[in-house]
Chain A
Amino acid sequence: AQSVTQLDSHVSVSEGTPVLLRCNYSSSYSPSLFWYVQHPNKGLQLLLKYTSAATLVKGINGFEAEFKKSETSFHLTKPSAHMSDAAEYFCVVSDAGSARQLTFGSGTQLTVLP
């Protein structure tokens, strides 16, 4: 069985300051991990994914995430927030590199203050 916990339902940062969205996972096998972003009334856009290659994964729009097996974490970071980053972010886990069974976290709403 696999599960994912997003530790914060809401995060608020000022524009230009760093972003940290936290995610912990549980998986019976070597997991694949993803971060998706969803803007209001829109579908999901893949930010980045980890599939057992480099543990530091760089994604689009300046986001990156580090896979830490010892901590079972996959936190999403960005050095400097933009207003356009305001959205809902989902951490997602999938077993063994398969795209067939995704388990979604509950989501983190990111607010960026001017």
Chain B
Amino acid sequence: GAVVSQHPSWVICKSGTSVKIECRSLDFQATTMFWYRQFPKQSLMLMATSNEGSKATYEQGVEKDKFLINHASLTLSTLTVTSAHPEDSSFYICSATGQGVKTQYFGPGTRLLVL
């Protein structure tokens, strides 16, 4: 199956700083990438959908100025959590799909802890 990677896998930061998470599709062209967050013992919640070369579409209740998404190439999308606060601590998972790809391939996730 297709491979999607995320970097970093773990990040700890101080409150007020910004954190960037990368999501890469390693063996296919990801025309669309998705960003999810998962709180402990809960399901995945879609945050935003990004199409390569265009602005991301955010789900209701997700602040676009706080969670900046860039999808500048067919293999890379980034999520930047700006001015992070402890309540942003969560597991962030990306997924990717492409032309002719009938499923989403998920990355291994990034655990963010904001102190």
Contact = CB atoms under 8 A, between A and B. Distances in A.
B111 interface: yes
In order of increasing CB-CB distance, the 6 nearest A-B pairs are A43-B108, A99-B97, A44-B106, A43-B109, A104-B43, A104-B44
Contact of A99 (B91, B93, B101): B101
Contacts of B75: none
A13 B22 CA distance: 38
Nearest to B1: A46
A31 interface: no
B109 A102 contact: no
Most buried by B among A36, A44, A49, A90: A44
A102 B1 CA distance: 19
Interface of B: 1, 6, 32, 34, 42-46, 49, 91, 93, 97, 101-109, 111
Nearest to B51: A100
How big is the A interface, by class? 20 to 34
A92 B91 CA distance: 19
Contacts of B46: 102
Contacts of B45: 104
Contacts of A36: 106
A106 B68 CA distance: 27
Contact of A43 (B1, B32, B34, B107): B107
8 contacts: A42-B108, A43-B93, A43-B108, A46-B106, A99-B101, A100-B49, A102-B46, A106-B43
A41 interface: yes
B43 A90 contact: yes
Given A41-B111, A42-B109, A43-B109, A99 B104 contact: yes
Contact of B103 (A41, A46, A105, A106): A46
Nearest to B5: A43
Nearest to A103: B46
